[in-house]
């Protein structure tokens, strides 16, 4: 795993980069310009840790392009994927949770481009820019809801249902239409999927191999394509 260097100010970015994104969609061009003039931008290679769990939350980020894998470390030292964040969302927003440290590690799941600001500007943004706080806390609520759903799945669903649900969520959030189905639009391994669903690599490999034979999914070179979403919906909601 690579580690991110401190971000540096780069090219003067255009206001149109933020106008369609929820935290900034209610702002006028002048306000967006003020925000951008205080931002740093940086590209990150795939597999880069932008920040780590427990470290001081010095900056918060807006993902312009790419995908972020949010990872927690269990008390037993095992890595657990908490969720994936697609482009167009804020992340590293520890201040919104009332924290001074990052609650998880953010690792790029694909080559990514992000803006970032010093955390000391968070309260100013919330106070000065209408809609920023509302949209941000809505994002936080959605993420907490997703994690609560997964906790319930771990407690109540069979492994096959959990894996089906995980694949359906990923194609809903990041899916790209390709020949033969809907592809998860970033590299994902069977190990990643096992961490996301709280099961073993062996179980996920056996399940995906069986689903491939049935024509439900296709996987190669760290790419997973869902060929029959309807059948996965039936699996995910099957009664036990």
Q: What is the pLDDT of residues 7-44, one digit of tens each?
A: 554 556 788 878 888 888 888 889 999 999 999 999 99
- Write the CB contacts of 33 (distance below 8 Å, at least 6 apart in sequence): 15
Residue 79: its pLDDT value, please? 81
Residues 164-200 pLDDT 10s:
999 999 999 889 999 999 999 999 999 999 988 989 9
- The pLDDT assigned to 154 comes to 83
Q: Does residue 92 contact residue 51 with C-beta atoms inside 8 Å?
A: yes
Which residues are within 8 A (CB) of 236 and not within 5 positions of it... i.e. 6 or more apart? 161, 164, 165, 168
CATH C-level class of 157-236: mainly alpha
Which is more confidently placed, 19 or 120? 120
What percent of the chain shows pLDDT beyond 70?
94
Which pLDDT score, from 0 to 100, does residue 151 have? Answer: 82
Cβ-Cβ contacts under 8 Å for 117 (sequence gap 6 or more): 35, 38, 39, 40, 59, 60, 125
Looking at residue 12, its pLDDT comes to: 65
What tokens appear for 209 in the block?
Answer: 């191999």
Average pLDDT of the chain to the nearest whole number: 89
The pLDDT value given to residue 5: 59
Per-residue 3-state assignment (H helix, E strand, C coil) for 31-78:
HHHHHHCCCEEEEECCCEEEECCCCECCEEEEEEECEEEEEEECCCCC
**Predicted local distance difference test score (pLDDT) of residue 169:** 92
Residue-level pLDDT at 2: 67
CATH for 2-153? 2.60.120.10
Domain boundaries, the chain: 2-153, 157-236
Pairwise CA distance, residues 33 & 180, whole Å: 43
d(CA 209, CA 188): 15
State the burial class of residue 124 (Cβ atoms within 10 Å of its Cβ: 0-12, 13-18, 19+).
exposed
Give dist(CA 59, CA 233) in Å, integer: 39
Which residues are 100's β-sheet partners? none
2-153 and 157-236 have identical folds: no
């Amino acid at each position: 795993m690579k580690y991110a260097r401190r971000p540096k100010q780069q090219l003067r970015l255009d206001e149109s980069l933020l106008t369609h994104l929820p935290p900034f969609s209610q702002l006028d061009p002048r306000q967006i310009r003020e925000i951008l003039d205080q931002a740093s931008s940086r590209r990150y290679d795939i597999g880069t840790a932008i920040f780590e769990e427990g470290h001081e939350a010095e900056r918060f980020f807006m993902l312009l392009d790419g995908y972020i894998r949010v990872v927690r470390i269990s008390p037993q030292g095992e890595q657990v994927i908490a969720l994936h964040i697609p482009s167009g969302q804020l992340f590293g927003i520890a201040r919104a949770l009332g924290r001074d440290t990052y609650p998880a590690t953010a690792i790029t799941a694909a080559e990514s481009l992000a803006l970032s600001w010093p955390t000391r500007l968070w309260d100013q943004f919330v106070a000065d820019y209408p809609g920023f706080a509302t949209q941000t806390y809505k994002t936080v609520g959605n993420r907490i809801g997703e994690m609560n759903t997964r906790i319930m799945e771990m407690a109540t669903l069979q492994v096959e249902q959990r894996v089906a649900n995980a694949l359906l969520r990923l194609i809903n959030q990041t899916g790209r239409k390709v020949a033969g189905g809907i592809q998860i639009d970033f590299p994902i391994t069977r190990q990643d999927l096992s961490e996301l669903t709280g099961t073993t690599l062996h179980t996920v490999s056996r399940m995906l191999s069986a689903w491939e034979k049935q024509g439900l999914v296709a996987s190669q070179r760290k790419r997973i394509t869902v060929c029959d979403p309807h059948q996965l919906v039936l699996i995910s909601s099957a009664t036990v």
